[in-house]
Structure 1
């Protein structure tokens, strides 16, 4: 508001009554006293989108037995035709999957580890930003629909990587009856079910 006041501050009858002392010698004095109050406010702005990704992103890995590095990253995947990290309000529009064939953390040497990660060009999130994602990761059964699927939900803040250190044991991966690894090819699939961007705000 550029102006604020009282449409009915004082009636003419009261103003003109001399005994009230408002009008003396046809003179009236107006004054104002201003109080400045310093207020504080904290809150969050939450943007939530349900089912933002209708289909699975598929990462095909050929010659799996020839993988020698500790970490492999998929190509960027795109949700709803928009990139995951640009602009800032659409962080979960694209990202990458991280594969550790020999496992990491609690799954080291015994499991295949799979993680969801933000773009590797960024080391951290902008200040006052948190990103929520509920997502599915699965290894496709290449013969039938008996896929190995896991669901995770996570608030990304300081960390930009989250997932499953024990996604699939190396023994089960090599088990031919599971049909995960055929002709030395592996299919990893990913789908976002719910995503949100939360921005903390404050005013003083």
Structure 2
């Protein structure tokens, strides 16, 4: 250890040579997090001391804690359902930031290795002002190099079990938009809940458009529902995620006044379908004066822009 200091808030900051034992969160194209509306990022789960945890990062500060011009970083329990009634976990943890210039690590922890008590009403502890943004962005500090950085965590309960797991979040600098249009025929005769387009490629994944002609869930009978889904979600490895901007559009075949919706979503093996249950009122869709349904056919288009990809690694 090269440096060991305390500040007035009871937080110790030290410089160490050894990387974090339990988890590493590497982020490429860090500057694109906020540009793509990611004000809060939750890492994948990792295990330490017999419990599952995750890191929570606020790239420009936790606004709820008035942490302006800082990065906020926290440790949180990822799974509490299996814990017994009245559970408490006393934890000593350290959070890391890699100095890539010197291959060393800035480490923050509570002064005098103070233990934090995790319980039902408090599942998250950390540092509202982990590091000032002006220091983080300073080239000479080495924390952000080529728009890439790495955070980490060590967690000590009553015993330690090192899994060495981690993840890499890559934000796309030059995101490419993929477009796909499909035609659904004989819409009035469709009798299944949903219909899929043929799979199409966007990024390194296959996708499909899902049309629910009579609505989905609580919107049955009132709205046409439209979704984008991963065609083969089982091919995603556990912990992998895709952050995408999607635009779903139904063509107006008469006046070219197309109806569309736009949103950003995280896609994963467990959340492989996202979209709008109230995409278009069925009355509007079937109205003979509109151009959405012509000769019992409709044209549906999807635009997919991959903004970021998370890959788990061990």
Distance 2:302 2:233 in 1: 21
Partner of 1:118: 230
Q: Of 145, 152, 169, which aligns to 2:256?
A: 145
Aligned pair 1:75/2:57, yes or no?
no
Report the Cα offset of residue 194 of structure 1.
Answer: 3.6
Aligned pair 1:64/2:187, yes or no?
yes
Query: TM-score, normalized by length of structure 2?
Result: 0.45
Hey, which bits of structure 1, 4+ residues long, moved more than 6 A?
none
User: Residue 73 of structure 1 contacts residue 97 of structure 1 at CA under 8 Å; is this kept in 2?
Assistant: yes
SS, match of residue 177 in structure 1: coil
Partner of 1:167: 279
Distance 2:170 2:23 in 1: 19
Distance 1:198 1:37 in 2: 21
Distance 2:221 2:237 in 1: 35
- Unmatched 5+ stretches in structure 2: 1-17, 26-166
Aligned pair 1:183/2:306, yes or no?
no
Change in 2 beyond 3 A, CA 1:125/1:193: closer
Distance 2:186 2:23 in 1: 56
SS, match of residue 224 in structure 2: strand
User: Residue 208 of structure 2 contacts residue 229 of structure 2 at CA under 8 Å; is this kept in 1?
Assistant: yes
Report the Cα offset of residue 201 of structure 1.
Answer: 4.4
Query: TM-score, normalized by length of structure 1?
Result: 0.67
Q: Of 120, 135, 140, which aligns to 2:246?
A: 135
Report the Cα offset of residue 140 of structure 1.
Answer: 0.2
User: Residue 284 of structure 2 contacts residue 290 of structure 2 at CA under 8 Å; is this kept in 1?
Assistant: yes
Distance 2:300 2:256 in 1: 14
User: Residue 124 of structure 1 contacts residue 160 of structure 1 at CA under 8 Å; is this kept in 2?
Assistant: no
User: Residue 123 of structure 1 contacts residue 160 of structure 1 at CA under 8 Å; is this kept in 2?
Assistant: no
SS, match of residue 177 in structure 2: coil
Change in 2 beyond 3 A, CA 1:51/1:140: farther
- Encode CA deviations 1:176-197: one digit per residue, 9 max, x unaligned: 2221111111001011134321
Partner of 2:112: none
How many corresponding residue pairs? 154
User: Residue 72 of structure 1 contacts residue 98 of structure 1 at CA under 8 Å; is this kept in 2?
Assistant: yes
User: Residue 237 of structure 2 contacts residue 312 of structure 2 at CA under 8 Å; is this kept in 1?
Assistant: no
Which structure has the larger Rg?
1
Report the Cα offset of residue 38 of structure 1.
Answer: 7.8
Cα RMSD for the two superposed structures: 2.3
Higher relative contact order (CA 8 A, sep 6+): 1
Aligned pair 1:53/2:164, yes or no?
no
SS, match of residue 198 in structure 2: coil
Change in 2 beyond 3 A, CA 1:201/1:118: same
User: Residue 242 of structure 2 contacts residue 306 of structure 2 at CA under 8 Å; is this kept in 1?
Assistant: no
